[in-house]
Structure 1
Amino acid sequence: MNIQLADPIKNYFEISNGTDPVRLKHCFNANAVVLDEGGTYQGHTAIAAWFCDTRQKYAFSAKPLSATTQQQHEIVTAEVSGNFPGSPIELSYTFLLQDGKIQSLKIA
């Protein structure tokens, strides 16, 4: 199934399945926020640190399965596989885009 994703979201998934956190700053606005596992990470430095910690902890990969739009948010359901109990699982990625980049991302 071919899922249509906005470029910043498509790029996020391509980068998140790799190991280069430096490229993440091209997806996110400078003051962007990521909410994941009860933590809040704001700005390029914090988001890159979150990415590195999460990659090291879970060695995950995410495959988008579906995408919908609700109000101003793009919601992507992805199958996430990695080094954690119950793998693979489906997670919801809720993106808010602003000025062609990700302003916020909530993973639940």
Structure 2
Amino acid sequence: MHDNQPRTTSPDILPEVITRYLKAHRAHDTATAITAFTSEATVIDDGNTYAGTEAIKKWLGRSATEFTYTIHLTNAMQTDATRYIATHHLEGNFPGGTIDLRYQFTLRDSLIERLVIEP
């Protein structure tokens, strides 16, 4: 295997910062979730870009209250030294009712610098 080949990983070996974010996000704990991001972080979700801590805080707060849903981690993969993909299955009262989303993380200095969420 070459070092640049994606590797499927067990969810329990995702970096601490990603698991901290995911657990806090599931618990609607915005204060803890925001500590996982760099001050210049960017989140792209549902076609919208949120840049910087304040915009991400507002996004976290809104996403926690907009819909009711369950979320289960179904796969985790490290794609290179700083990039990880965590695939989640969501079921809830949002349009369509179920979806699988890929949370694509880019880390810098042990924090999340970029998060892209898409099907």
Task: Indicate whether the TM-score tops 0.5.
Answer: yes
Establish whether residue 17 from structure 1 lines up as the match of residue 38 from structure 2: no
Residue 12 of structure 1: CA displacement? 1.1
Residue 90 of structure 1: CA displacement? 0.8
What pairs with 1:22-33 in structure 2 (closer than 5 Å)? 22-33=31-42
Report the Cα distance in structure 1 between the residues aligned to 2:109 and 2:70, rounded to whole angstroms. Answer: 27
Residue 55 of structure 1: CA displacement? 1.6
Q: Deviations over 1:47-84 (max 9, x none)?
A: 11001111211223422111112234201111122221
Establish whether residue 94 from structure 1 lines up as the match of residue 111 from structure 2: no
Per the alignment, residue 53 of structure 1 pairs with: 62
Query: Aligned pairs, how many?
Result: 107
RMSD: 1.5
Conserved? CA contact 1:16–1:61, under 8 Å: no
Identity of paired residues, percent? 30
Conserved? CA contact 2:21–2:32, under 8 Å: no
Report the Cα distance in structure 2 between the residues aligned to 1:15 and 1:47, rounded to whole angstroms. Answer: 14
Which of 73, 88, 96 is the equivalent residue of 2:83?
Answer: 73
Establish whether residue 37 from structure 1 lines up as the match of residue 69 from structure 2: no
Residue 13 of structure 1: CA displacement? 1.0
* Aligned-partner residue type, residue 59 of structure 2: W
Report the Cα distance in structure 2 between the residues aligned to 1:95 and 1:61, rounded to whole angstroms. Answer: 21
Runs of 4+ with deviation above 2 angstroms: 59-62, 85-88
Q: Which has the larger radius of gyration?
A: 2
Report the Cα distance in structure 1 between the residues aligned to 2:70 and 2:40, rounded to whole angstroms. Answer: 25
Structure 1 gaps, min length 5: none
The SS at the match of 1:79 is strand
